[in-house]
């Protein structure tokens, strides 16, 4: 690679300071940091108080070259005064007092200010600069400052040292990118031929990513969508259209899908892959009661050596993170965050991108060069609604009032509780009282400050959860939008800020990326999902046909009335259909039901048929119970009751023990609730399809997802029994996949002849 072919980078002063000058410990998790908005407001407040000769937001930049790269260093000086001797001011908002400010943190701030000053020296040939770090303590609006005087020569030497170090790093990174791009250019689809529809999906995504177009892709289960989306995205990465890929999943099973897809390439490409997970999963051996975590203590002093070892690696996989962290005694969770800018493919949960409280703002600051792949995107609307909603429970305020020992804070919490009770009693649907929102903010900040000063690692987890719930509600209460409603309930006693429509929040986030690609096995009807993700049209759509022969699935509709008021009366009829099905063709069956209560009642009804080997989804997330249930699914015969839309109805793949049938009881309409009714009202007003958006479309999506457990390969055959008379209605049948071709049964006595004709045997 010659200099003419060198790669270009743009680096901020903050990035360079963090890379070259950060030392000491990882700041422990509850040490408060101001939000981006609080930082901006604090900067503007101090800048407005400075004298007339004070220059604000002064842009500085310089260009540098390495052997294989050229890069621009740029930033904005918070404040500059040239009259009376040059002064460079760096403003930092904080919750630390002067005596509590960590020395390593101040050294980092000083390094940043010195880099700004050095760039200023290059532009103005200055001899001496006074560097001032001004700290604005947000909880009491007080200031303190630290000053140092530096010669121009000293500052330029400091800059040069950082430039040499960073240029060397970028040169190494460019060499890696050359190897990676060559590896991806040679990458071939790992199978001799595409499945039906798989190539169409790959081509569509490739074009949409190349053209910076958002795409929505309905790819039925069994098509191989993980490979069909990853392969063209990796090609785009190697061709330089994007600098990084983020693959978002709704569940951890999505991580396994990516791992399996990458393992299918005969020659693994040179690729750095990072699987982002919560701290308690990555740091499995971390003791929460420890005051000092040794992998976090002195972490940044040991990081440079580990970072060099990472840079020298030809590729990077999940196991490499743990090995590198163990070798250098580093926190693997923090190491993953620090290596994020230098990996090619990031696999993460939705919340790292979409949740305003969990979003990785620093890692996504350059999102215009990131291609976003969103798997199982049918989950996104409801997940996003939860992310953009918040709730405050009376029990949280009571718990905090009991646990907080500071008298002044106790007084504020008592006042907040009085305002909470008055607000709850008034139950205004659109706005919280200004006095309540102001008191929320005035309480949560000193409360967080108090908590961070305690031996908080020894507090019960429940206290931290209540504190975070209050903080999230206080943040959300500052901006209640038109699509939000306020809900009040007594059981549980709470105030809820509920987002009826996630699109106004999702669209600005997706607009910031190079391109976004949403795919799932059930994105029907597509207009519904597009409207839930973005308000404006313009998303390309691709609805692919089922990849397997439609004659492999026998779809039957049993005209049973499963409406809530008729459920008790129809139990015996449902049991009769299931008993006849089992008697006709015993095997492995999944029975999906909308709720635990309905499932328990049906299992009780079916227990009167001793020939049925019944197993039931556990009503908890306890790992042992889940593992036992999954083990039962390896049996040769069973009737397994699960919750439609739950992890066992969507997240399991029984490749080694095929199902003979899936039974879906009812249309799986979500139960009526204040939240659903407000979704209905919102979309009735905006789109004229309130019932569809709130109830019918989510229900059909659950049905399609659950049915997708049945036919997983070209060899699979089986029965899909839809038990509800509404499936015979045009409004519902029109939403079912066309290849299902459902047949309406008159009664259970028809099952033997229908199944005999389907399986081609005497049954």
List, for residues 463-502, the tens digit of each pLDDT value: 888 999 999 999 999 999 999 999 999 999 999 999 999 9
pLDDT per position as a tens digit, 323-333: 999 999 999 99
Across-strand partners of 274? 346
Nearest residue to 159 (alpha-carbon basis) of 16, 9, 11, 8: 16
Tell me the per-residue pLDDT of 47-93, one tens digit each, with 9 for 90 and over. 999 999 999 999 999 999 999 999 999 999 999 998 878 999 999 99
Query: How far, in whole angstroms, is CA 84 from its chain's centroid?
Result: 51
For the chain, what are the domain ranges? 3-171, 190-384+505-543, 390-499, 550-759
Q: d(Cα 593, Cα 664) in Å, to the nearest integer?
A: 6
Q: Give, in words, the CATH class of 550-759.
A: alpha beta
Q: What local confidence, expressed as pLDDT, does residue 649 receive? A: 80
Confidence of residue 455 (pLDDT cuts 50, 70, 90): low
Edge to edge, what strands does the sheet with 390-393 contain?
390-393, 493-499, 484-490
Determine the pLDDT at residue 318. 83
DSSP string, 229-278: HHHHHHHHHHTTS-SEEEEEESSTHHHHHHHHHHHTSSS--S-BEEE---
Measured between alpha carbons, how far is residue 656 from residues 400, 635, 653 in Å?
50, 11, 8
Is 550-759 in the same CATH topology as 3-171?
Answer: no
3-class secondary structure, 746:
coil
Phi (first) and psi of residue 171, to 5 degrees: -60, -45
What CATH class does 190-384+505-543 carry?
alpha beta
CB contact at 8 A, 61 and 73: yes
On the question of pLDDT at 139 being above 80, the answer is no
- Which range among 35-39, 93-97, 173-177, 290-294 has the greatest average pLDDT? 173-177
- Sequence-ordered alpha helix ranges (H) in 394-460: 394-403, 407-426, 434-453
| Residue 177 vs residues 79, 174, 343: alpha-carbon distances, Å | 38, 5, 10
DSSP code of residue 316:
B
Q: pLDDT at position 460, please?
A: 65
**pTM, two decimal places:** 0.92
Q: β-pairing, 55-65 with 215-218?
A: unpaired
How confident is residue 213, by pLDDT bands cut at 50, 70 and 90? very high
- Tell me yes or no: is domain 3-171 CATH 3.90.320: yes
Of 491, 280, 249, 476, the C-alpha closest to 372 is 249
Rounded CA gap, 161 and 149, in Å?
19
pLDDT mean across residues, the chain = 91
């Amino acid at each position: 690679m010659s200099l003419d072919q060198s790669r270009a980078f743009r680096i901020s002063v903050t990035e360079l300071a963090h890379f070259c000058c950060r030392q000491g410990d990882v700041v422990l998790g509850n040490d408060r940091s101001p939000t981006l908005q609080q930082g901006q407001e604090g900067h503007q407040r101090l800048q407005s108080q400075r004298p007339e000769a004070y220059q604000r937001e002064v842009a500085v930049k310089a260009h540098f070259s390495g052997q294989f790269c050229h890069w621009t260093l740029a930033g904005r000086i918070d404040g500059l005064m040239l009259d009376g001797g040059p002064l460079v001011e760096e403003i930092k908002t904080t919750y630390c007092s002067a005596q509590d400010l960590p020395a390593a943190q101040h050294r980092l701030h000083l390094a940043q200010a010195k880099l700004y000053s050095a760039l200023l020296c290059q532009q103005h040939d200055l001899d001496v600069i006074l560097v001032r770090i001004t700290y604005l303590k947000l909880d009491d609006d007080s200031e303190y400052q630290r000053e140092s005087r530096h010669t121009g020569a000293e500052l330029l030497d400091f800059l040069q040292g950082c430039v040499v170090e960073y240029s060397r790093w970028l040169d190494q990174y460019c060499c890696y990118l050359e190897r990676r791009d060559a590896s991806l250019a040679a990458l071939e689809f790992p199978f001799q031929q595409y499945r039906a529809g798989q190539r169409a999906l790959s081509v569509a995504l490739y074009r949409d990513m190349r053209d910076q177009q958002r795409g929505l892709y309905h790819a039925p289960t069994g098509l191989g969508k993980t490979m069909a989306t990853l392969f063209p995205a990796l090609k785009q990465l190697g061709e330089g259209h994007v600098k990084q890929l983020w693959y978002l999943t709704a569940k951890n099973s999505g991580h396994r899908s990516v791992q399996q897809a990458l393992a299918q390439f005969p020659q693994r490409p040179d690729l750095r892959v990072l699987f982002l997970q919560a701290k308690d999963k990555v740091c499995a051996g971390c003791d929460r009661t420890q005051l000092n975590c040794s992998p976090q203590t002195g972490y940044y002093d040991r990081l440079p050596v580990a970072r060099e070892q990472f840079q020298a690696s030809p590729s990077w996989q999940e196991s490499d993170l743990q090995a590198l962290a163990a070798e250098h005694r580093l926190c693997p969770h923090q190491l993953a965050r620090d290596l994020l800018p230098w990996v090619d493919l990031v696999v993460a949960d939705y919340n790292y991108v979409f949740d305003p409280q969990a979003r990785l703002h620093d890692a996504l600051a350059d999102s215009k060069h990131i291609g976003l792949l969103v798997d199982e995107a049918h989950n996104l609307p409801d997940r996003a609604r939860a992310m953009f909603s918040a709730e405050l429970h009376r029990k949280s305020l009571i718990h905090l009032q009991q646990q907080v020992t500071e008298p002044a804070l106790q007084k504020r919490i008592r006042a907040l509780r009085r305002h909470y009770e008055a607000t709850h009693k008034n139950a205004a649907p659109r706005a919280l009282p200004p006095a309540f929102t102001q008191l929320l903010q005035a309480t949560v900040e000193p409360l967080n400050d108090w908590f961070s000063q305690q031996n908080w690692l020894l507090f019960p987890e429940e206290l931290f959860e209540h504190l975070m719930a209050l903080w999230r509600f206080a943040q959300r209460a500052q901006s209640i939008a038109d699509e939000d409603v306020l809900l009040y309930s007594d059981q549980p006693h709470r105030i809820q800020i509920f987002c009826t429509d996630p699109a106004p929040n999702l669209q600005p986030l997706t607009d910031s990326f190079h391109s976004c690609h949403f795919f799932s096995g059930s994105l029907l009807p597509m207009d519904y999902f597009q409207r839930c993700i973005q308000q404006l049209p313009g998303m390309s759509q691709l609805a692919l046909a089922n990849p397997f022969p439609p004659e492999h699935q026998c779809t039957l509709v049993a005209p049973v009335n499963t409406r809530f008021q008729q459920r008790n009366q129809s139990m015996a009829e449902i049991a009769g259909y299931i008993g006849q099905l089992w008697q006709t063709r015993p095997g492995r069956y999944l029975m999906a039901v909308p709720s635990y209560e309905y499932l328990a009642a049906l299992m009780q009804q079916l227990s009167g048929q001793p020939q049925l080997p019944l197993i039931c989804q556990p009503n908890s997330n306890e790992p042992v119970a889940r593992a036992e249930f999954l083990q039962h699914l390896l049996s040769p015969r069973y009737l397994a009751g699960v919750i439609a839309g739950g992890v066992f109805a969507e997240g399991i793949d029984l490749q080694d023990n095929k199902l003979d049938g899936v039974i879906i009881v009812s249309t799986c309409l979500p139960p009526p609730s204040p939240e659903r009714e407000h979704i209905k009202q919102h979309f009735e007003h905006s789109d004229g399809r309130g019932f569809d958006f709130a109830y019918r479309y989510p229900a059909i999506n659950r049905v399609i997802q659950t049915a997708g457990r049945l036919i997983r390969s070209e060899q699979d055959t089986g029965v899909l029994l839809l038990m509800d008379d509404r499936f015979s209605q045009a409004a519902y049948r029109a939403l079912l996949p066309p290849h299902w071709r459902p047949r309406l049964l008159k009664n259970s006595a028809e099952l033997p002849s229908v199944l005999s004709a389907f399986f081609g045997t005497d049954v």
